[in-house]
């Protein structure tokens, strides 16, 4: 494509003593060695020889043309194409001035892009640092406050559900969990285990250390290791402060950054009286994975066979499928479900299998020193009458075991 014939006329404006203090709009023509400005108010011209060009105006948006012989006159245009006019290439002074302007524009552009890159970097940095920031802030939340929040949420649950308080059953559960709890750091809060009378296979943990297991889960488990696998996962939700971190994440990046910089008032205002949130939240995929991994490590450290964790996942998976068959509409599982639907159960199991394969303690796990059948019998005996009949059948009665 041929380059278009060089442009000679540009939209322009001018200051001229004849026009008073106002500027006048018109057009500028470069031709025949002259720069000619035409407007309704009249016409005047500069010779190109001796012409001075420079940038000016806000952000150097304008090109100014001035001539020492006409010190009070100034022509300007926002059309930077004027710098490419061939007439300017013929005059060495003008060429130099033009090159100076181009360099200046280049530097300005570099600075602009540099600043933009910095800004994007800063925003991205804040975004990627969001998780560590949330983690750091969660650590700063006073323990008592976190416990109070968890206790309030637990009170709301226990008002609607029956707790099994039989001391003999509780003692056996505590005994069962003892080796696991021994390796879980409890410097921040002690853990309290609860049994909720409910036939569903569920367990959940609240900030501050309340961990609840449904009777249905305890009765559906075939081995104490399966119960311990679920517990390891739930305890990890507590030690990793997943409930608190979800709440903090929920209040938005601005409040987080603010809190991180030392002003937590906005964050606290949003979090105050937010205990009900804990009952409806679903943990993120990352948090579930983190709880699986850490739960696995707790079991490993306690010399408890993590195989139980995997086999209970398998039970849950079959239960899930059964529920889907029974409820073709797909009734939502409870929000606090141990087995949240994401990440997929199969994916979580595969991950745990990998961890087990890599585990330095592939065998050499200690036997749990609890009569599990006796514990289940005592638990069943403590259920209220209607629930006893509703004991969930083995997930797959045909599978034997």
Q: Which residues bind Zn ion (CB under 5 A)?
A: 288, 291
For 82-86, the CB contacts below 8 A with 24+ separation are 82/7, 82/10, 82/28, 82/30, 83/53, 84/6, 85/6, 85/7, 85/8, 85/30, 86/6
- Half-sphere exposure of 51 toward its Cβ, with a 13 Å CA cutoff? 28
One-character DSSP codes across 98-144 = HHHHHHHHHHHHHHHHHHHHHHHHHHHHHHHTHHHHHHHHHHHS-HH
In whole angstroms, the minimum distance from the beta carbon of 215 to Zn ion comes to 19
| Rounded Cα distance, 145 and 155, in Å | 15
Q: Rank residues 146 and 288 by Cβ distance to Zn ion and give the closer one.
A: 288
Q: Rank residues 293 and 353 by Cβ distance to Zn ion and give the closer one.
A: 293
In whole angstroms, the minimum distance from the beta carbon of 113 to Zn ion comes to 45
Q: How many helices (H) and strands (E) does the chain have?
A: 16, 10
Q: Rank residues 54 and 282 by Cβ distance to Zn ion and give the closer one.
A: 282
| Rounded Cα distance, 391 and 380, in Å | 8
**The residue to which tokens 């961890």 are assigned:** 355
H helix runs in 199-284, sequence order? 215-220, 224-239, 242-250, 253-260, 265-271, 275-280
Q: Rank residues 291 and 349 by Cβ distance to Zn ion and give the closer one.
A: 291
| Rounded Cα distance, 164 and 215, in Å | 8
In whole angstroms, the minimum distance from the beta carbon of 307 to Zn ion comes to 19
In whole angstroms, the minimum distance from the beta carbon of 362 to Zn ion comes to 25
In whole angstroms, the minimum distance from the beta carbon of 136 to Zn ion comes to 22
| Rounded Cα distance, 282 and 297, in Å | 23
Q: Rank residues 146 and 292 by Cβ distance to Zn ion and give the closer one.
A: 292
- Secondary structure (3-state) at 283: coil
Q: Rank residues 238 and 291 by Cβ distance to Zn ion and give the closer one.
A: 291
- Secondary structure (3-state) at 38: strand
In whole angstroms, the minimum distance from the beta carbon of 291 to Zn ion comes to 5
In whole angstroms, the minimum distance from the beta carbon of 197 to Zn ion comes to 21
Q: Rank residues 198 and 288 by Cβ distance to Zn ion and give the closer one.
A: 288
- Secondary structure (3-state) at 290: helix
In whole angstroms, the minimum distance from the beta carbon of 281 to Zn ion comes to 11
Q: Rank residues 75 and 291 by Cβ distance to Zn ion and give the closer one.
A: 291
């Amino acid at each position: 494509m041929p380059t278009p014939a060089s442009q000679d006329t540009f939209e322009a404006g001018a200051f001229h003593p004849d026009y008073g203090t106002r500027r006048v709009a018109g057009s500028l023509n470069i031709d025949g060695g002259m720069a000619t400005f035409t407007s309704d108010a009249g016409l005047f011209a500069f010779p190109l020889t001796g012409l001075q060009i420079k940038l000016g105006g806000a952000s150097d948006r304008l090109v100014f043309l001035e001539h020492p012989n006409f010190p009070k006159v100034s022509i300007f245009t926002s059309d930077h194409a004027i710098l490419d006019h061939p007439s300017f290439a013929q005059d060495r002074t003008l060429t130099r001035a033009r090159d100076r302007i181009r360099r200046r524009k280049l530097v300005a552009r570099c600075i602009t892009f540099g600043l933009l890159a910095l800004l994007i970097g800063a925003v991205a940095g804040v975004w990627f640092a969001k998780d560590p920031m949330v983690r750091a802030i969660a650590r700063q939340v006073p323990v008592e406050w976190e416990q109070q929040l968890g206790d309030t949420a637990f009170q709301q649950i226990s008002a609607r559900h029956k707790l099994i308080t039989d001391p003999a059953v509780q003692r056996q559960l505590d005994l069962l969990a003892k080796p696991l709890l021994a390796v879980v750091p409890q410097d921040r809060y002690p853990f309290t285990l609860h049994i909720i009378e409910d036939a569903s296979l569920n367990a959940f943990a609240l900030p501050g250390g309340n961990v609840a297991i449904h009777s249905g889960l305890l009765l559906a488990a075939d081995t104490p290791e399966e119960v311990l696998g679920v517990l390891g996962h739930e305890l990890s939700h507590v030690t990793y402060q997943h409930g608190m971190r979800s709440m903090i994440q929920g209040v938005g990046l601005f409040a987080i950054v603010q809190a991180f910089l030392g002003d937590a008032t906005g964050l606290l205002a949003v979090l105050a009286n937010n205990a009900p949130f804990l009952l409806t939240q679903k943990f993120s995929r990352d948090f579930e994975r983190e709880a699986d991994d850490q739960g696995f490590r707790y079991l490993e450290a306690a010399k408890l066979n993590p195989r139980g964790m995997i086999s209970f996942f398998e039970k849950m998976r079959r239960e899930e499928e059964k529920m889907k068959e029974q409820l073709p509409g797909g009734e939502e599982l409870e929000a606090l479900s141990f087995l949240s639907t994401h990440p997929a159960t199969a994916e979580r199991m595969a991950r745990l299998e990998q961890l087990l394969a890599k585990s330095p303690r592939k065998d050499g796990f200690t036997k749990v020193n609890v009569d599990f059948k006796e514990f289940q019998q005592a638990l069943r005996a403590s259920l209220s009458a209607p629930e006893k009949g509703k004991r969930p059948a083995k997930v797959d009665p045909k599978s034997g075991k």
